[in-house]
Amino acid sequence: DAKTTQPPSMDCAEGRAANLPCNHSTISGNEYVYWYRQIHSQGPQYIIHGLKNNETNEMASLIITEDRKSSTLILPHATLRDTAVYYCIVRVATGAAGNKLTFGGGTRVLVKP
Amino acid sequence: KAGVTQTPRYLIKTRGQQVTLSCSPISGHRSVSWYQQTPGQGLQFLFEYFSETQRNKGNFPGRFSGRQFSNSRSEMNVSTLELGDSALYLCASSSNSGSPEQFFGPGTRLTVL
């Protein structure tokens, strides 16, 4: 699985958009970008994933650059409950290849009132 | 649908003992993965079971083992406990039908004294 680089921490104002960057310059053509988050004392939670097109769901948007070497997770209107560690993970699609996730250090996001 | 359950939630053991942790995946899910989370090493993949077979294995010593039953429930065992085994042990289940989402349980907090 390709390695990812994320800033260790960032603050965000409640109600504003939070933009979380992730660098994955060695990503391969068949690798997806996944985002998970872990709220304190809970198990990680899946947020979103994508291959090359931008993706949006009820939780967030994922913007992947055209060369796929970096991506940005956008929380459109951050709330205090979004305070968590966010993990960017790059891996091949799940299925026969197995479901192993390789977590890096993640970005600790603190949403402030 | 009930989520992933892990038992026990908290456990205190002494060095040299062994421990067995249990994970019940979401109904219908056939893949169960185990992770260890420590402040120093972060989230690390232990192993994955699918249809009672180990499909992937992380870089952990042989003291860490697991198994999966025909009802997809999984157990992991750690023998000859060391102080460094103190950690949050998380399991995640997935349907493996192509869904990229893994559902994590709340974890078992193991303390080795």
The Cα diameter of chain B in Å comes to 42
Integer Cα distance of B108 and B113 in angstroms: 16
CB A101 to CB B102 under 8 A? yes
Work out the mean pLDDT of chain B and round it to a whole number.
Answer: 94
Beta-carbon neighbour count of residue A90 at 10 Å? 22
Select from B45, B100, B106 the Cβ nearest to the Cβ of A100: B45
Q: Which residues from A are below 8 Å from B94, CB to CB?
A: 94, 99
Strand runs labelled E in A30-77: 31-38, 45-50, 55-56, 61-64, 70-75
Cis amide prior to B8 (ω within 30 degrees): yes
A94 confidence band (pLDDT: 50, 70, 90): low
The predicted pLDDT at position A16 comes to 96
| Size of the A and B interface in Cβ pairs below 8 Å | 66
* Shortest CA distance from B40: residue in chain A: A105
Task: Express each pLDDT in B14-42 by its tens digit.
Answer: 999 999 999 999 999 999 999 999 999 99
Task: Express each pLDDT in B41-54 by its tens digit.
Answer: 999 999 999 989 99
Select from A32, A42, A99 the Cβ nearest to the Cβ of B106: A42
The predicted pLDDT at position B100 comes to 78
Q: Is the pLDDT of residue B97 over 60?
A: no
